[in-house]
Amino acid sequence: MKNKLLQLISIALIVLFTAAPTPIGGGPMGPVPPSDVAYNAVTWNGSFLAPTQNAVRDQFVTSAAAALQNIVEDTTPQLSGDLDGQTFNMVTTGAITGAIGVITTTGINLSATQSYGYVIIATAAGDVELADVCDSATGANALIFVRDVAETVSIAVNDPGDTIVFPGLSLGADDELDSAGNAGDFVGVACLEANTWYVIGSRGGWTDGGAAD
């Protein structure tokens, strides 16, 4: 009787250990390695396995990319366009500040880039040629400043079809505008209409120099 009782107890223990649930993170062959699947703290995939560092990193990268995309989409009405190029649209309620470009020269043929917001300081007699960027009302502009005495500076157009409009003078197409050579003279020009540069501010005596040479 005693032997049968011991046999029954042994059988019961075997059945108990055989039927016991597999520990979390384990399996029939031993512990299961952590998962490398990208960890998602929002949607549970039903696994109790701890994520690896790679899985956590992958989820962080994915979440960061999604957050950045949301920021771009949210700011599209305020900032859009080609940020690598020269133009983009911006809407702001604050101030945007920046330094103007300054070019000190004895004579220069302005490039397209130099035709937007630059101050040209003439240090000797010479020509300042406005770039061919006034085929339409582009808003191109420049301020030419005569620094010293006896510096006769001529403002000319690069495109012979362009005209400089100066109050009180009748400059024709391709005519240049000449300074009197006095220190402190300046002229500000802006393209406000197709092929037409308007003098929007000046100081000193400026004259029609005839066809640009």
Phi, psi of 83 (to 5 degrees): -75, -20
d(CA 79, CA 113): 22
CA separation, residue 120 to residues 100, 156, 179 (Å)? 11, 13, 14
Confidence of residue 55 (pLDDT cuts 50, 70, 90): low
What does the pLDDT look like over 70-111, one tens digit per residue? 655 555 555 455 545 556 677 778 888 888 899 999 999 999
Spatial separation of the C-alpha atoms in residues 207 and 187, rounded to whole Å: 12
pTM, two decimal places: 0.57
Q: Which two structure tokens, joined as six digits, stand for 103?
A: 């070019």
Beta bridge partners of 128: 108, 155
| Nearest in space to 157 (alpha carbons), one of 181, 140, 182, 180 | 140
Q: Which domains does the chain have, with CATH numbers?
A: 2-75 (no CATH), 101-211 (2.60.120)
